[in-house]
Amino acid sequence: MIKLHDLEFEPYISEEEITKAIDNIAKRLNDEYTGRKPIFIGILNGSFMFASEVIKRFESDCEISFVKMGSYEGTKTTGEVKTLLGLGQELAGREVVLLEDIVDTGNTLVEVDRILTEAGVANYQVATLFFKPSAYKKDVPVQIIGMEIPNKFIVGYGLDYNGLGRNLTQVYKRKESKMTNLVLFGPPGAGKGTQATILKEKYDLIHISTGDVFRYNIKNQTELGLSAKSFIDKGQLVPDEVTINMLNAEVEKNEGANGFIFDGFPRTEAQAEALSESLEAKGTEVNAMIALEVEDEILVERLLERGKTSGRPDDADERVIRNRIKVYYSETAILKNFYQKQNKYYGVNGEGSIEEITARLSSVIDDLMK
C-alpha dihedral (310, 312, 314, 317), degrees to nearest 10? 70
CA distance 241 to 274: 9
Decide if 213 contacts 260 (C-beta within 8 A): no
Concerning whether 166 is annotated as a catalytic residue, the answer is: no
Alpha helices in 257-370 (DSSP H): 269-280, 296-310, 318-340, 354-369
Say whether 312 is catalytic: yes
- Kindly name the residue from 28, 76, 166, 267 that is annotated as catalytic: 267
Bin 312: left if φ > 0, else alpha if -120 < ψ < 50, else beta.
beta
Catalytic residue among 132, 192, 200, 282: 192
Residue 267 appears among annotated catalytic residues: yes
Q: Are strands 154-155 and 144-148 parallel, antiparallel or unpaired?
A: unpaired
Catalytic residue among 68, 114, 175, 312: 312
Q: Does 57 qualify as catalytic in the annotation?
A: no
CA distance 196 to 288: 14
Catalytic residue among 306, 322, 336, 360: 306
d(CA 67, CA 44) in angstroms, rounded, equals 6
Give yes or no: 174 in active site: no
The catalytic residue positions are: 192, 267, 306, 312, 324
